[in-house]
Structure formats: C-alpha cells, structure tokens
Amino acid sequence: MDRRSLLALGAATAAVAVTGDVASAAENAPSDAALARSLGDFRSAYAQVNGTRLHYVTGGTGSPLVLLPGWPQTWWQFHKIMPALAKRHQVIAVDLRGMGGSGKPDRGYDKKTMARDIHELVRKLGHRKVDVAGHDIGAMVAHSFAVNHPDAVGKIALLDVPHPDDSLYDLTLIPRPGQPFFLWWFAFNQVDVLPGQLLAGRSRLLVDHLCGLMLLDQKNISDRDRDIYAHAYSTPDAVRAGNGWYQTFSQDIADQRTYPRLTTPVLGLISAANYDYVAAAITRHATDVRLVKVANTGHYLAEEQPAAVIDELTRYFG
C-alpha cells in the first residue's frame, strides 16, 4: 500500500471515530435517484465518457441545456431552477468529474479535459449542439467547452466565476481591512492529502463555513441541502477529487493563454461582491458578452435568487 493510500485509510478511520459508522450515514442520505424524482419528471443516470463515469440528472423537453455545478456542491445546487427550465429545455444537470455520483479518477481535473467529458456526454445523449450554464468550477468548464468545442455549443452562461487566467496569480491570502472574505480555500485545496484527513466525515463544517461567508440569507441553503453537499464530500477520495479542480489552475491558466478570444455568446450572471473582477475577466476573453448584476445574492445565485436566474436564463437561451 502506497503512502497516499495509507494516509487516506487513516483519515477514514478517524472519520468513523468522530462521526460513527460511515455506511450507516450513507444509508440515511437521499440517493440521487430519489432527489431527481422529488423534482418531478427527472431521472438520474450515468454515462461512461472520456475514461470516467459521469452522473447526470435530466428532464424536460425542448432544446438541450446543460447545467454544470461548482464546489463544494453537486448537481443539486440547481434544484430550485430545474423544473422551470424544463418547461422549455431538456435539462441535463451534470456532476463534474470528481463530484457527487461521478467517477473520481487520479487525473484529468484541468478544465479542458473536463470540457471533453461534457462534449462526449452530450454526443452520447444524441445532441449535436447544446447551450451550457455553469457556476463556479462549472463556469470554468463551460468556458473551456465553448472554446474547445465551438461547433457543439450555442450560447453559454457563466455564473459568478470566469475561466482561470493570469489574474489568479495576483490574488492575495491576506485580507485587506474591511474586506468581507478572502479566498483561503484556493490555497487550502492546493495541499496534497491533508485536506482529506481534516475533512473526512467533517465536511458539513466546511459547507457551513462557506455558506456563512457567501450567502446573504442563510435560510436559502437549508440544513437538508447542506447535508446533501456534506455527504458528497465526506470521504478522503471525494475531497481529493475536489482539490484536483484547484490544483490544475496553473494548467488552466497556461491553456487560457493559447485560446483565442471566445466568439460564442456569453451571459455573465454576477453577484455584486464579485462583479468587477468577474465582469472584467469575462470581457477580456470573449467578444459577445452580456453582463447582469444579480441583486440581493451572494455567490450561490441559483439558490439565493432562483427566480432571477430562471428569468435571465429563459430570456437568454430562448
């Protein structure tokens, strides 16, 4: 057994000591299939693509609209907007490589590879062209999908996050006086093995911390929703996979330097706190841009202001 495996085993043992029987906790968590059914005419499914397995939830009729979530969440972060969007679209909400019910391989967490995952998925589902909306890490993948597979995309929407570029190297770990929060988790997720040891069986603490930082109203992500997200990141393997999205930022930045300016139409839905940075980054890398500052929300737009997000996406995607 190698060093990583030994450390992961130790972390899992510690998690059992802190939280009790892990298998019992898993039995009490709602399955993706049950969650999908709770939204109405949606189903949970899997597809083998690009050397890994992707989990997705789909429902509705009309033009295909792919939804890509972020960290530390899953496809469930779109549950408030999926039924309304499904009135006009076949909605396909995907757990990214390393997330939730999807596979957690050792590599492939750069956004170009993850975009290829999505491209192979939509082809397997029989779609020639799709629209894509992504939040957080999912927004990075959405941008990469559009630039690397332009014939397969109509329009994209980026929710509160741009694709990584050199500006990430200018971010500081030391908050300025009065700064509401700083991105400490960008550095934390660069660390190998230790995050899984610290968070295994305790990921609800992380979920609550990030909600405390980035929700305007704590009730907008319920205890049940937080438990769903915490369960998705409850093992060392799940934490490792999520770390991978951050540990590949340098590769993503290098890839961005080679990309042409995106000509695919882009909608940026951005919270007030992040507006200046995200708007500038999107505009830097795309030519056909519409920017909307979403009022009365923190980072988790689709959960804090679902009606506004539904209205903007419906208007934009048609």
Q: DSSP letters along 142-189, please?
A: HHHHHHH-GGGEEEEEEES-----GGGGG--SSPPTT-S---HHHHHT
Give the pLDDT of residue 204.
Answer: 97
Angle between the N-to-C axes of helices 223-232 and 203-214, in degrees from 0 to 180, rounded to the nearest 10: 130
Report the candidate in 127, 50, 52, 141 with the shortest Cα–Cα distance to residue 91.
Answer: 127
- pLDDT value at position 176? 87
Give Cα 1 to chain centroid, integer Å.
32
Cβ(101)–Cβ(47) under 8 Å?
no
* Catalytic residue (choose from 136, 160, 225, 255): 136
State yes or no: is 32 an active-site residue. Answer: no
Choose among 273, 278, 207, 203: nearest CA to 240. 203
Residue 292 has a CB neighbour count (10 Å cut-off) of 18
Residue 159's closest CA among 303, 316, 301? 301
Taking the model in full, what pTM does it have?
0.92
Give the integer Cα–Cα distance in Å for 70 and 93: 12
Torsion sign (Cα): 142, 143, 147, 150? positive
User: How far apart (Å, rounded) are the C-alpha atoms in residues 255 and 144?
Assistant: 9
Where the chain has pLDDT below 50, the residues are: 1-27
Instruction: Count the alpha carbons within 13 Å of 266 in the hemisphere toward its beta carbon.
Output: 34
> Catalytic residue at 166?
no
- Residue 281 has φ and ψ, to the nearest 5°, of -70, -45
pLDDT of 235-250, one tens digit each?
Answer: 999 999 999 999 999 9
**Which amino acid would we find at residue 133?**
A
Number of H helices, E strands in the chain: 15, 8
Active site residue 136: yes
Cα separation of 32 and 217, whole Å?
A: 26
Judged on CB neighbours under 10 Å (0-12, 13-18, 19+), 53 is middle
**How much is the pLDDT for 173?**
84
Apex 286 CA angle, 285 and 289, nearest 5: 135
Which domains can be identified in the chain, with CATH numbers? 3-317 (3.40.50.1820)
Give helix 249-258 / helix 111-124 axis angle, nearest 10°.
Answer: 80
Give the tokens for residue 309.
Answer: 């997000």
CA distance 81 to 159: 13
Indicate which residue of 55, 119, 285, 299 is catalytic.
299
Catalytic, out of 246, 255, 285, 316? 246
* Residue whose token pair is 């909600």: 211
Gap between the Cα atoms of 303 and 96, Å rounded: 19
Please tell me the predicted confidence (pLDDT) of residue 292: 98
